[in-house]
Amino acid sequence: MVRLSIATAGFFLATLLSIPALAQTRPLVTEEMMVKTSDPGIEIYVRNKRPADMTSFRPEQTVLYVHGATYPSETAFDLKLDGLSWMEYIAARGYDVWLLDLRGYGKSTRPKEMADKPEANPPIVNGETAVKDIGTAVDFILRHRNIPRLNLLGWSWGTTLMATYTTQNAAKVERLVLYAPSWIRQTPSLVQAGAGKLGAYRMVNRDQARERWYTGVPEDKKASLIPAGWFDAWAAATFATDPDGATMNPPVVRAPNGVVQDGAEFFGAGKPYYDPAKITAPTLLVGAEWDRDTPPYMAQTLFPLLVNSPGKRYVALAEGTHSIIMERNRLKLFEAVQAFLDEAKKS
């Protein structure tokens, strides 16, 4: 399935938000596709946004994003807040931008185990399976655009997945961006599945999502962290991606527990999931000071281990959480990542 649309990305608020100068309007093309995996009955959802006048494609101008442990890609990376999503921000600067929902998330196929009660099956969609989905998406994009490699951008668990993929497929990765990178834990994970035996998936409601988001934020900063209406916009978009979860009381988003199992066996047990020394692409680590999901110590520990990453960089952002992508300081994240990506275009 392929859906195509063309829209004008209106950047009328560019001046208000101090976004670097670009054309006030630039038409963007949007395509949505379901890509078959090697597993029967499993398809993964990808979305593409790019300038409508883009006719040639190059590795340094191609980006693939993948989400974290709980929520799908499009409801954060392509969520319009004040008329602008991060995906559009990158695309409007001349990039061919893609997002991926791993199986079990968003618009991708939900494994059959998610039709049962969680306790009926063991955890599903672990890192190995997720990295395989990333490989399927990467190969699809490379064939579709006739390019040899591309940039990878991951958030949270997505950083572990993108980094792991990079260690296994160095020739296919131009640059690597790890936003809120996970690494070996010194503190408990905020991604929990509750007491008892770990089941196939877990359920998260709006109140739990809000509580997790604000963890670590000073009391006197909470009121100004998220502009009015932004949390509700994110929650409405996110919870709408799980129609079955929406029928529950209260409504929930269901998320596979493979990540929780991996977390307990690797980072939570003091064991690395991948070898950072095997990353040979230029790599950016970027995170925010109030992040309690992947606290700053993780990036600070990981950074010196990237011994073979040329031009590696670590950027710490003030007054933001794990979800700074949707907070008042989100443009600081956008600008830091954009500067890193743009370096390849200039070289």
Q: What is the CATH class of 2-346?
A: alpha beta
pLDDT at 16 over 70: no
Q: What values do phi and psi take at 212, rounded to 5?
A: -65, -40
Q: What is the pLDDT of residues 246-269, one digit of tens each?
A: 999 999 999 999 999 999 999 999
Best CA proximity match to 61, nearest among 93, 84, 32? 93
pLDDT at 5 over 80: no
pLDDT at 15 over 80: no
Judged on CB neighbours under 10 Å (0-12, 13-18, 19+), 9 is buried
pLDDT given at position 10: 42
Average pLDDT taken over every residue of the chain: 93
Pairwise pLDDT comparison (1 vs 228), residue with the higher score: 228
**Separation between Cα atoms, residue 221 and residue 319, nearest integer Å:** 8
Q: What is the pLDDT of residues 90-133, one digit of tens each?
A: 999 999 999 999 999 999 999 999 999 999 999 999 999 999 99
pTM listed for this prediction: 0.93
Other Cβ atoms within 10 Å of 293 Cβ, number: 24
Other Cβ atoms within 10 Å of 130 Cβ, number: 29
Q: For strands 252-256 and 201-205, give the pairing.
A: antiparallel
Q: What is the pLDDT of residues 38-58, one digit of tens each?
A: 999 999 999 999 999 999 999
**Separation between Cα atoms, residue 284 and residue 281, nearest integer Å:** 10
Confidence of residue 341 (pLDDT cuts 50, 70, 90): very high
Q: What values do phi and psi take at 49, rounded to 5?
A: -130, 135
pLDDT at 20 over 70: no
Q: Which helix (H) or strand (E) holds 91?
A: helix 86-91
**Partners of residue 63 on adjacent β-strands:** 97, 151
Secondary structure of residue 288 in the 3-state scheme = strand
Around 142, how many Cα atoms within 13 Å sit in the side-chain half-sphere? 16
∠ CA 205-209-210, nearest 5°, is 120
| Helices and strands (DSSP H and E) totals, the chain | 11, 11
pLDDT given at position 153: 99
pLDDT given at position 268: 93
Domain map (residue ranges) of the chain: 2-346
Q: What is the pLDDT of residues 171-220, one digit of tens each?
A: 999 999 999 999 999 988 777 656 678 999 999 999 999 999 999 999 99
